[in-house]
Amino acid sequence: MIKPIGSDELQPRFVYDTVEHEKLSKEAESLPSVVISSQAAANAVMMGGGYFNPLKGYMNVADAMGAAEKMTLTDGSFFPVPVLCLLENTDAIGDAKRIALRDPNVDGNPVIAVMDVDAVEEVTDAQMKTMTDKVYRTDDMEHPGVQAFNTQGQIAVSGPIQVLNFSYFQSEFPDTFRTAVEIRNEIAEHGWNKVVAFQTRNPMHLAHEELCHMAMERLGCDGLVIHMLLGKLKEGDIPAAVRDAAIRKMVEVYFPENSAMVTGYGYDMLYAGPREGVLHAYFRQNMGATHFIIGRDHAGVGDYYGDFDAQTIFDDEVPEGAMEIEMFMADHTAWSKKLDKVVMMREVDDHTKDDFVLLSGTKVREMLGNGEAPPKEFSRPEVAKILIEYYQSL
């Protein structure tokens, strides 16, 4: 199986030893504590599950700036985005060297991790702007990722963490949430050697399904990991539980047995386009995938990024040899009326726009809300049924 990034074996920050876990949980209740941001909590979940291997904790400002500016930390290691714990103030923790971090997304704010504090630093306005510009390629506060990053505070608390739970992800999505450790184990149990991963924050329509089939066939893959984001999204995105039901139905009906896994991970969407595409590839290698599908406008939002910026970044900006995982670069896929099947649009140069079945997101939502299934060339009827029920419940 492909090695994780930066080590021979995954080094998850979750405390798996039950005795140590109980001991740490008791200690945490007596430590100075602070409720962290949703983004910081998601970072803890990703470190806990091994996705951010080999990170041991939150970055200091120098490492965060290195990640933002050149995807390289001060020790020379590769990481594509800053992983910070930003606070508005440190009143609750003072100058303590060991603190408890509390979850903002669960009632009662339980302790999600214990941190050994290495540094408490103020992030300047100029540093926040640099990180924002480099990661998001915009400082527009209308961008949901820019807004989330810039409203946490500007005091960075850094140091190694020990993770005690996976926030609400394990309890709300018990059949779907998986750590990188668990996905590696499941890949091994399936006996897969060549594995392609597909990222989604949306339900999968026919074009997405066929893109996965194309990738598996062309790469000669044994298996597919459909890996959906379970964390916070922007307003208007379909809730994870609905996506999960729709995707599971699609796999059940249209994929051969033992060929696809439906899983999810606990992270808030950054909507950072190309830089988030690199991050997605990073943690897919850590979970054991050998290949990763990068599609048109991957992880984008609005008109902030070019259609293929998330593909060209791998050649233009990612340090050579940073990752072993290989990219499957995909174009927009759609049903061809001429060929009576789903195709990649760049591969059929004798087609015009009118030769494809293309529906806007607005049109699809309108149809579903009216109880009308999109055409079979766009969406599987079993998937449409689940989405119609959701939209009509709003």
Per-residue model confidence (pLDDT) at position 361: 83
**Whole-angstrom distance, CA of residue 49 vs CA of residue 81:** 18
Closest CA to 248 of 285, 209, 274: 209
With vertex at residue 311, the alpha carbon angle to CA 78 and CA 248, rounded to the nearest 5 degrees, is: 95
Per-residue model confidence (pLDDT) at position 362: 85
Closest CA to 181 of 46, 366, 373, 324: 46
User: What DSSP string describes 325-381?
Assistant: -EEEE---EEEETTTTEEEEGGG-TT--GGGEE---HHHHHHHHHTT-PPPTTTS-H
Could you give the residue range(s) of every CATH 3.40.50.620 domain in the chain?
Answer: 175-393
Banded model confidence at residue 87, pLDDT cuts 50, 70, 90: very high
Residue type, 171: S
> Is-catalytic flag, 202?
yes
Number of residues that make up the chain: 394
pLDDT value at 276 more than 90: yes
Given a contact cutoff of 8 angstroms between Cβ atoms, the answer to whether 190 and 165 are in contact is no
Per-residue model confidence (pLDDT) at position 360: 86
Query: Check: CATH 2.60.120.200 for 18-170?
Result: no
The CATH number given to 175-393 is 3.40.50.620
pLDDT value at 296 more than 80: yes
**Whole-angstrom distance, CA of residue 248 vs CA of residue 261:** 9
Banded model confidence at residue 89, pLDDT cuts 50, 70, 90: very high
pLDDT value at 234 more than 80: no
**Whole-angstrom distance, CA of residue 247 vs CA of residue 200:** 10
What is the average per-residue pLDDT within 323-344?
A: 96
Banded model confidence at residue 82, pLDDT cuts 50, 70, 90: very high
Per-residue model confidence (pLDDT) at position 394: 85
Q: What is the DSSP letter of 302?
A: T
Banded model confidence at residue 233, pLDDT cuts 50, 70, 90: confident
What is the average per-residue pLDDT within 265-289?
A: 97
pLDDT, one tens digit per residue, over 94-112 is 999 999 999 999 999 999 9
Could you give the residue range(s) of every CATH 3.10.400.10 domain in the chain?
Answer: 18-170
Q: Which helix (H) or strand (E) holds 116?
A: strand 111-116
Per-residue model confidence (pLDDT) at position 55: 98
Banded model confidence at residue 201, pLDDT cuts 50, 70, 90: confident
Catalytic option among 98, 201, 248, 365: 201
> Is-catalytic flag, 89?
no
Share of the chain above pLDDT 90, in %: 94
